[in-house]
Amino acid sequence: MIGLAIIEQLAREIGGTVGQQWFYENLPIDYETGAMTNYGVYVVTNQAPITQQNGDFHQFIQFDVAIGEGATDPETGVAVAEKYATDELLDKIYVIIRDWLDDPTNHCTLTVTETGQTFHDVRLFPAQSKARTVTLSNGAIVKQMIAECYYK
């Protein structure tokens, strides 16, 4: 659930809605055709190896981003290339995580809206920079970034 709490926070800071542009543990792919049914940010959480565990919970948060046709610049409303929109969104996520890392006092508390589950002393660190993963059948490019997350 920490992944859901993180994307709720990112959606508030960057824009968008969980379930519409931000997706948790769910890739909206039609497995018969391979086509994306929705575009946006998909977050998957992966447990860190048990050898890396200490007193805090430790997970890797994987961000997969794909923006399809009809992308627009959120500030100007002007149409932009899908690849540009994908890169720009992943860069915004990276900047937030980087800024989180740069501020050692920013050990925040995040709460999942629907359940009220709270995570304390949440710390995010970039673990893998932006990388291209796959090109979908319609030409959309999926890019990925991984962050490391510690929390109580």
Q: Which CATH architecture has domain 2-151?
A: 2-Layer Sandwich (3.30)
- Average pLDDT of the chain, as a whole number: 82
Give yes or no for residue 127 having a pLDDT over 90.
no
Residue ranges per domain, the chain? Answer: 2-151
Q: Model pTM?
A: 0.82
**Model confidence over 100-125: pLDDT tens digits?**
776 666 668 889 999 999 998 888 88
What's the pLDDT at 20?
86
DSSP secondary structure string, the chain? Answer: -HHHHHHHHHHHHH---BTTTEEES---B-TTT--BSS-EEEEEEEEPPGGG--SSEEEEEEEEEE--TT-B-TTT--B--HHHHHHHHHHHHHHHHHHHHH-TT--EEEE-TTT--EEEEEEEEEEEEEEEEEE-TTS-EEEEEEEEEEE-
Percent of the chain beyond pLDDT 70? 76
48-75 pLDDT per residue, tens: 876 666 678 889 999 998 877 666 665 6
pLDDT of residue 82: 75
